[in-house]
Amino acid sequence: MCVSCGCGDTELVPVPVHERILANNERVAAHNREHFRDHGVVAVNLMGSPGSGKTALLEATASALLHRAKLGVLVGDLATDNDARRVRAAGIMAEPITTGSACHLDAEMVHQGLHRLSGWRDLDYLFIENVGNLVCPAVYDLGQAVNVVALSVTEGEDKPLKYPTMFRKADLVLLTKADLLPVLDVHVDVIARNLSMVMPEPRMILACARTGVGMDQWIHWLRAINTPRRASVPAVC
């Protein structure tokens, strides 16, 4: 009420809030992260454009790592469970998260996905294959330990500069489809230089799911982050 004269009129008051708009998502992400930590599960948020080779990478990862570690996948897609079926066929337990029209996964979708992925507590690695998109997924914390971005060589050299937020948040960039380099006018050193403009500690592995190039390095990197005292993300040669 107006305190000047007691007339009963309403007042306009400024109310400072200073809170992140995604604070609710970040609370759920923190909850997911606590679950992962308590059960010793390394959660990897795998992002990249549609067709960048995320699912093929998971299939190849299964071949290389499944005999040494328990793997699971939550697969985000706008529609269909095609990718979930592909990774299941590769021997990995998988659950689709069909987002409908949403262009990204959020922490609550992952939380609900965990409820459906029975046995996730026994995993060594949970891969969260995000919706194919180089913009929106970068904004949402899911509770992951690391962000990995799959960038195929066919996407060109300038993607890190065009989508700086995505690459800034990446702990590792997998430069996929390396077997296509001989037929492309794309230079890996230019991509590396562009990454250094948006990533303070650029880490990149040249990889190919089809030929197996770079898979040893990728598996080595994954094993290095799954240690009881992982103080920092490992460097890449």
Partner 1 sequence: MHEYSLVQALFDRIEDVVRERHAISVRRVRVQIGQSAGVDAGLFRTAYDTFRIRTICADAPLDVREVPVRWVCPDGHGPIPAGTPLTCPACGRPCRLDAGDEIVLEQLELEVP
Q: Shortest Cβ distance from residue 154 to partner 1 (Å)?
A: 23
Site membership for partner 1, residue 209 (CB under 8 A): no
| C-alpha of 20 from chain center | 21
Site membership for partner 1, residue 3 (CB under 8 A): no
- Region 141-180 residues binding partner 1, contact defined as CB under 8 A: 164-166, 168
Maximum Cα–Cα distance across the chain = 81
Q: Shortest Cβ distance from residue 102 to partner 1 (Å)?
A: 7
Q: What value, to the nearest 5°, has the Cα angle with vertex 220 and ends 214 and 226? A: 140
**The only residue of 3, 15, 183, 231 in contact with partner 1, by rule CB under 8 A:** 15
**The only residue of 18, 67, 115, 229 in contact with partner 1, by rule CB under 8 A:** 18
103, HSE (Cβ side, Cα atoms, 13 Å)? 10
Q: Shortest Cβ distance from residue 153 to partner 1 (Å)?
A: 22
Of the two residues 16 and 182, which places its CB atom closer to partner 1 in the complex? 16
Q: Which residues pair with 127 in a beta bridge?
A: 44, 73
Binding residue count for partner 1, defined by CB under 8 A: 37
Task: Tell me if 11 sits within 8 A of 2, measured CB to CB.
Answer: yes
Of 30-38, 78-86, 118-126, 192-200, the window that binds partner 1 (rule: CB under 8 A) is: 192-200
Q: Could you give the CA distance from residue 171 to residue 25 in angstroms, rounded to a whole number?
A: 21
Q: 47: buried, middle or exposed (CB in 10 Å: 19+, 13-18, 0-12)? A: buried
Backbone angles phi, psi at 120, to 5 degrees: -65, -25
Of 179-187, 190-198, 209-217, 220-228, the window that binds partner 1 (rule: CB under 8 A) is: 190-198
Of 49-57, 73-81, 112-120, 197-205, the window that binds partner 1 (rule: CB under 8 A) is: 197-205
Contact map string, positions 94 to 133, toward partner 1, x by CB under 8 A: --------xxx-x---------------------------
Q: Could you give the CA distance from residue 121 to residue 188 in angstroms, rounded to a whole number?
A: 38
**The only residue of 19, 38, 185, 189 in contact with partner 1, by rule CB under 8 A:** 19
Q: 123: buried, middle or exposed (CB in 10 Å: 19+, 13-18, 0-12)? A: buried
Residues in touch with partner 1 (CB under 8 A) = 1, 10-25, 102-104, 106, 135-136, 138-140, 164-166, 168, 193, 196-201
